[in-house]
Structure 1
Amino acid sequence: MLDQVLLGVAVLVGLALVLNAWRLIIGPTVTDRILALDTMYINCIALIILLGIYFDTSLFFEAALLIAMLGFVGTAALSKYLLRGDIIE
């Protein structure tokens, strides 16, 4: 029963990733594209954690932690670039 629920939720998260990719492609402003990219990071983390639960291994959780750190740094760098035009002061 748990396997079916995990697969169903993984399909829904995959659908959310597709919708985020659509917003990333057609986003009218750069801000919309950055928010879509940030949401895609979060959805990828959720999908990797679901796969870790499904396959019963802790390796996926470490990968999700790395993606979370890189996603935060990437979003902060893109936001700073939009505000100031320069990342490194």
Structure 2
Amino acid sequence: MARGAKWMRTECKDRLSAKFTPRQLCRTGMGSRVICRDRQLIYEEAPQAYKSIDSVVDCLADAGLITPVACLRPVLTLKTSGEKSA
């Protein structure tokens, strides 16, 4: 489970679909927009499926691996499986 995930990709929809509709996941808690046409992928990549970024950054900083210099807020996120359509 790399990528800072809380769960396996296959578990995300089962865990999150009872709490969130795909439409609700098109806006983040920070107000940014998410564009995703794949209903499975929007659950796999939902912010709720990931560990807290603050805890990840703190862990890396405490280990001396990074020095945080800025805090950025996303405005738009485009989620795609990476497959090219014909």
**Same-fold call, TM cutoff 0.5:** no
Larger fraction in strand: 2
If you compute each CA radius of gyration, which structure gives the higher value, 1 or 2?
1
Please give the TM-score of this superposition, normalised by the length of structure 2: 0.30
Larger fraction in helix: 1
